[in-house]
């Protein structure tokens, strides 16, 4: 089997959106339907106007796409608004230098009845389909 050429795969890109978390705009929010949980890098906490006292203790570990396990620091429940739809989401805080500012996983996608398309670079709720 031949490997696909760059021309054949140039449309396959990660799906990034801008969302409002705690009423504040957050760019580079990665939509990942292969992830079970929502992730927020610890470095974003201050941008949201939050501090450690706002976080809930947890003993949860998550697996990175590399398969390596990472212990989450805490959980932050926050209101997330994308377009006209808002919902409460739990973000697991990790100490990471990831390229995203937040990651919304399968739980968010299913709870909000979203349809994702990395090919079209869009996140659509089922009311718009």
Domains of the chain (ranges, CATH numbers): 13-125 (2.40.70.10)
Could you tell me the pTM of the whole model?
Answer: 0.82
Name 78's Cβ contacts closer than 8 Å, sequence gap at least 6: 21, 22, 48, 88, 89, 91
Cα separation, 109 vs 53, whole angstroms: 28
Residues in the chain, pLDDT under 50: 129
Cα separation, 81 vs 75, whole angstroms: 18
pLDDT at position 118: 63
pLDDT at position 129: 44
């Amino acid at each position: 089997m031949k490997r696909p050429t760059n021309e054949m795969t140039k449309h396959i890109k990660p799906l990034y959106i801008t969302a409002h978390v705690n009423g504040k705009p957050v760019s580079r929010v990665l939509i990942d339907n292969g992830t079970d949980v929502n992730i927020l890098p610890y470095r974003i906490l201050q941008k949201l106007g939050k501090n450690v006292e706002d976080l809930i203790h947890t003993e949860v570990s998550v697996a990175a796409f590399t398969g390596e396990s990472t212990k989450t620091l805490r959980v932050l429940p926050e209101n997330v608004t994308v377009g006209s739809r808002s919902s409460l989401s739990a973000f697991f805080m990790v100490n990471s230098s990831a390229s995203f500012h937040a990651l919304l996983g399968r739980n968010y996608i299913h709870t909000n009845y979203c349809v994702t398309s990395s090919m079209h670079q869009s996140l659509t709720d089922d009311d718009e389909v």
